[in-house]
Structure 1
């Protein structure tokens, strides 16, 4: 398409073109002016400068004074944290053989267990991360935690090690085997896979996790390397007992490992840095377990700061002396032990419940504490309150002479009590028991009973209690529960299976009580089991067959100024050995150094 321009458009075109020409001319002029200005303002060449010749005289050489460089600051090497404590003896090193206090402390620190006890009596996972039980209560399945490694081989713990440790303990039949032999069925125990084991039981046993605190897991492959044949255990020879007892090494995976065994003198442990659990920030690097409780030696070591914590077997006067040393305190630690005065219910006049009630009302419980053992705690019923499932008694007994005499009047022996003297035994190795026995004698003679007090060595007590005929009327004995639940004391003390053993002198022949005890421990539901325990405790209390004197406490002197001892704050389970769980104790060498200045 073509366009044509009219006159107006032509005029506008010419005007625009003239404007364009004018603009171009203006731009050219501006460029020319700027170029000229730039040229005219260029700098001229610089003037010639003559450089003066320097003087020929050499400058003086400056005198340099050498200086000694300041050495970089160095960090002093860390001071080793050492924890030393005494025991009544050097521990046995084999967890399938020992069960005394010193050995148990060693096992707790060197070996891992599937479960772990809390101060309140609760059992939680440890080397086992979880567990379950079948509906019939006969199969317990445990899942093993990954990453638990043994000290010597560095192997990871597996279900095979757990099965081996359980079978080894039961087969050897010593140490804590007595807890497992009645309930574990090895024929129904099997390894499911590397990290799963099923433990079969002969009968339902609700407190089973509680006794697993005493199954210490050993490195099965390491033990196999040192089995000596022939031996008493068939294909397993001596099961490695000789090698473990020699103290060359341990077979554990716990927070500490065996560093040195001084036969008859001490055991030295070293912190195991590869342990899977947690240490307190200032936990000891080195632990020395001394096998002596000789009072003079212990007192001297404490005064020289060469001992951090004492054993529990010191005489009261030694504790009093140590409490006067600057920085030393006496720890009063709860246990699952109880001190009883047991009455033989089959021997006249104690076969009459009214006589037994009279004795229970005549005894001065307060004087037994305040006048003999001021550190001890009053016991109120058949089991100590530190046990899970403890139940308060229906009444709290106090000394009431008038009420005691009224009870005697109801007995069939009233008017002829002088014909039935009562023999009371106390244990020669526990000197303060004599004072309790003499207090009892005075209390009972006040209400008309005739009493003979007899000092007996411990082995004679054990032998005497083995038969009904040789048992005394009354005996003073400290008993430790088998595990941290009420059933661990009730069955041990009052089931007829305990007849002939040191832990009972009541000689109760009550089938109903046996059935109640058996039913309680077979109950899987803990709440229901505890309800049954309470019923049993009241049943036993009403028999008035025992005087409940002390919930026994352990006493340990310790260097409170430079040792943090969690058990003194109730942060340790009252189960034997756990007060001395070294990974939780803290040692501060710098504070010790202050005391030595």
Structure 2
């Protein structure tokens, strides 16, 4: 299964069809014949079985979510083209996260396993998939090159890109200048309004726009003083100038979301207004706090992402006005994710984005505030609340959307009242590309940009 288009629709991909048992515990998928891995071997049910077992064993990516639904050995190859999943309990979102089972070539990865690592070391420099493009070159300091896989089962149109080079360029200005000079044909990262306008008026480039479900927020480390005091968290929430950031700095290109959920998803409690910029209220909350800050609060941003840094600086300004000392520190994404694993190394406040991996409220409030995800980038707050866990667990066990919506709304009310995070905006997607690049199809799930349909004109 794969999420496609915008609004996102879950469509059959490697699977042709699926069925669900009446008790909701068994999912059976019929697979397409003739789907090939990059080495020419056929994708079969045993590859799916190995891929899920590998995810559960390695414990990264979607593993924490799958572990709430299935045990090791839950997948079974009924025959070469039929795979069966046995769930521990019914789950409303299992089908939605099936696309997170990234199928690898079992025989190839097994051949390159070392010391029981499930091929992690080898896969850090090689690929074993079946996608439209295959890895041709890789240098962690520079980037990688992917070349077209002619035998991709979805086929190709009349035009395509033979090769795509991805370069790691941290500096925003360097990326933008490279696009304008046509050194790059597309760039990533969250750009400021002036940079987007610069690209739009250049003549060599374009900015594609689409509705998105990605949210920008700050996660609070709730395991230690002073952030473990709800009044301190509320004070921080009141100290951020939401309108100043969203309207002035970003030029109104985004929309405020007062909760952890994007405004366009069901499950948002419409009665919750969230926090607004109010220094007097921030001071009043600090006066009620039992934890008195005795050192600067660490405000972490992502290096190379200007918006993240600007948000941290704006928050620092508000905290200073409220009487709180803080320091702004930047970390590369891999570094900060590693820090999240341990409450002792997790920054006090971390500002970044939560992407859409599946179109369900659980993608946001469910994973950000479940005790099962504590220590991951989804739950860098290390948030644990038995009442919220109970609401989220029940929501996962039901199939009626109206009933599930009520549960997510209640869980959201609790975390907002506890100021368990700071929620800044629900973004649009802006894709800066060469104006000669055509055919890119955007999907808000993972901010995916389909390159199989892209081609270069001119």
Quick check: TM above 0.5? yes
Find out whether 1:383 has 2:256 as its counterpart: no
Structure 2 counterpart of 1:132:
19
Residue 578 in structure 1 maps to residue 448 in structure 2:
yes
**Please, which of 82, 92, 96 is the counterpart of residue 196 of structure 1?**
82
Give the TM-score of the pair, scaled to structure 1.
0.64
2:30 maps to what in 1? 143
Q: 1:503 to 1:160 in 2, by over 3 A?
A: closer
**RMSD of aligned C-alpha atoms?**
3.9
Q: Which residue of 1 aligns with 2:426?
A: 551
Contact 2:213–2:262 (CA<8 Å) still a contact in 1?
Answer: yes
Map 1:83-98; keep pairs closer than 5 Å. none
Counterpart contact for 1:428–1:455, Cα < 8 Å: no
Query: Residue 73 of structure 2 aligns to a residue in which SS?
Result: strand
Task: Name the SS of the counterpart of 2:49 in structure 1.
Answer: helix
Aligned equivalents of 2:452 and 2:352: distance in 1? 33
Aligned to 1:36: none
Is residue 377–residue 551 contact of structure 1 (8 Å, CA) maintained in 2? yes
Summarize the Cα distance change of 1:135–1:324 in structure 2 as closer, same or farther, 3 Å threshold: same
**Closer, same or farther in 2 for the Cα pair 1:392/1:281, shift >3 Å?**
farther
Unmatched segments (≥5 aa) in structure 1: 1-113, 590-597
Distance 2:223 2:179 in 1: 49
| Superposed CA offset, 1:388-430 (max 9, x none) | 54425414357464xx747865x69359999878735132624
- Seen in structure 2, the aligned counterparts of structure 1 residues 261 and 363 have a Cα distance that, compared at 3 Å, is closer
Aligned residue number for residue 396 of structure 1: 273
- Give the Cα separation in 2 of the matches to 1:245 and 1:465: 21
The SS at the match of 1:583 is: coil
State the match for 2:100 in structure 1: 214
Change (3 A) 1:441 1:136: same
Q: Distance in 1 between matches of 2:121 and 2:346?
A: 39
Counterpart mapping for 1:74-113 below 5 A: none
Residue by residue over 1:21-49, the C-alpha shift from the partner in whole angstroms, topping out at 9 and shown as x without a partner, is: xxxxxxxxxxxxxxxxxxxxxxxxxxxxx
Specify which of 326, 335, 338 is matched with residue 203 of structure 2.
Answer: 326
1:439 aligns with 2:314: yes
Aligned to 1:478: 353
Distance 1:279 1:573 in 2: 19
The verdict on how the C-alpha distance between 1:353 and 1:126 changes in structure 2, with shifts beyond 3 A counting, is same
370 and 467 in structure 1: CA distance in 2 versus 1, 3 angstrom threshold: same
Cα contact 2:192–2:250 (8 A) shared by 1:
no
Matched, 1:290 2:160: no
Q: Which secondary structure state, in structure 1, belongs to the residue aligned with residue 364 of structure 2?
A: helix
Asked if residue 563 in structure 1 is aligned to residue 437 in structure 2, the reply is yes
> Among 286, 295, 300, which residue is 1:426 paired with?
300
Say if 2:4 and 2:443, in contact at 8 Å, map to a contact too: yes
Tell me the CA shift for residue 577 of structure 1: 5.4
Q: Tell me, which stretches of 5 or more residues in structure 2 are unaligned?
A: none
1:205-229 deviations in Å (ceiling 9; x for gaps): 32112222122223445556xx147
Task: Give aligned pairs, total.
Answer: 451
What's the offset of the Cα at 1:501? 4.6
Q: Aligned to 2:415, which of 531, 540, 545? A: 540
8 Å Cα contact 2:52-2:101 kept in structure 1: yes
Closer/same/farther in 2, CA of residues 177 and 370 from structure 1, 3 Å limit: same
2:194 equivalent to 1:311: no
User: Per the alignment, do residues 465 and 244 of structure 1 end up closer, same or farther by CA in structure 2, a change over 3 Å counting?
Assistant: closer
